[in-house]
Chain A
Amino acid sequence: MKESMSSEEIDRLYMQGDRCFHQGEFITAVDKFELLLQIIEPGDRLYFNTQRTLVKAYQQNQQLEKAILLCQEIAASGAIGDAMWGQTFLAKLDPDYQKPVATSSDSDETRVETRPKPSLKPKTLAQFKRYCQNNLLGDLQELESKRKYTLASMLISGILCLILAGCFCLGLSNWLRVNTSFEFYLFCLVFPFTAWILFCRSCIQVYGLGFKRNIIENIVNFIDDHGQLEYAAHLFLEDKRRTINSLTRSQILGDALSEPDDLEQEDCIYGRVGDTDLFFAEITAKKIRGGHLDELGMRQSNHESILFQGLFFEAKFAKSFNSRTFVMPNNFKQKLEPLNRWRGELIKLEDPEFERRFRVYGDSQIESRYILSTNLMNRLVEFNKKAKRKVYLSFVDGYVYLAIPYNYNLFEPKLWKNMTSFTPLKEYFQDLQLMIGTVEDLNLNRRIWG
Chain B
Amino acid sequence: MVSSPSIQLRHLFWLLGGLALVVAPHMPRLPWWLNLIALILFTWRVYLAWGERALPRKWLLALLVVGGLFGAYVTYRTIFGRDSGVALLVLFLSLKLLETHHQRDALVLVLLTYFLALTNFFYSQTLPTAGLMLASTLVNTASLVNFAAPGRTLQANLKTAGLLLAQAGPVMLILFFLFPRVQGPLWGLPQDAYSGVTGLSDSMSPGAISRLSQSDAIAFRVRFREDAPPKRQLYWRGPVFWDFDGRTWRAGDARPYAQIKFEASGKPYDYEITLEPHNHNWLFALELTANIPPNASITRDHMLFSRIPVRNRVRYDLRSYTNFTVGDADDADELRPGLQLPADFNPRSRRLAEEWAAGGTTDAAIAQKALDYFREQGFVYTLEPPLLGRDSVDEFLFGSKRGFCEHYASSFVFLMRAAGVPARVVTGYQGGDINPVDQYMVVRQSDAHAWAELWLNGRGWVRFDPTAAASPMRLESGVAAAVPATDPLPLMARTTLYWLRGLRYNWDALANKWNQLVLGYNPERQREFLTRMGMSEPSWENMALTLFWGVGGLLALLTAWLLRRMRNADPVQRLWLRFCAKLGKKGHARAAHEGPADFVARTAERYPTEAGRIRAIGERYIALRYGERADAHMLAELRLLVREFSV
Question: Does B bind A?
Answer: no
Which chain B residues have a beta carbon within 8 Å of chain A's beta carbons?
none
